[in-house]
């Protein structure tokens, strides 16, 4: 992962993870079309919906995104340290936080 702009693939994985509970068929269909265009496999999309990834950096980015959305400060701190340890830069964390802050999740969500 570079320290600059988030890749479109990672951005979509984060969006899918944050929209995990979304039951809107239009949103899910749009995400699946975008995933196809970006070369994400069905397994990668399913993993993102379960708030996971097969890639350790993407998994850390997803975890950080979900932590920000939960607004649990301890969880955000731990997830940010983990992400930075895995090579995700501060600029990328800020981009992830911006994606996440528009959504709200219960703080008990893992």
Q: Taking the domains of the chain in order of start, what are their residue ranges? A: 8-101
- pLDDT reported for residue 75: 97
Question: Which pLDDT does position 20 carry in this prediction?
Answer: 87
pLDDT attached to residue 99: 92
Q: What are phi and psi of 107, to 5 degrees?
A: -65, -15
pTM over 0.85: yes
Q: Which residues of the chain have pLDDT under 50?
A: 2, 105-110
Query: What pLDDT is recorded for position 3?
Result: 57
Contacts with 103 (C-beta within 8 Å, 6 or more apart), sequence order: 18, 19, 69
pLDDT at 79: 98
The set of residues, in sequence order, having a beta carbon less than 8 Å from that of 19 and lying 6+ positions away, is 27, 31, 103
Query: Which residues have C-beta within 8 Å of that of residue 96, sequence separation ≥ 6?
Result: 6, 14, 61, 64, 65, 68, 88
List, for residues 78-93, the tens digit of each pLDDT value: 999 999 999 999 999 9
By three-state DSSP, how is residue 76 classified? Answer: helix
């Amino acid at each position: 992962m570079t320290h600059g702009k988030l890749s479109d693939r990672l951005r979509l994985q984060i969006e899918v993870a944050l929209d995990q509970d979304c039951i809107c068929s239009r949103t899910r269909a749009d995400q699946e079309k975008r995933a196809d265009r970006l070369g994400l496999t069905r397994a990668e999309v399913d993993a993102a919906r379960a708030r996971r990834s097969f890639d350790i950096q993407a998994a850390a980015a997803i975890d950080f995104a979900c932590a920000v959305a939960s607004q649990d400060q301890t969880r955000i701190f731990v997830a940010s340290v983990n992400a930075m340890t895995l090579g995700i830069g501060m600029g990328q964390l800020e981009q992830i936080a911006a994606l996440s802050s528009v959504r709200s999740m219960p703080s008990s969500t893992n």
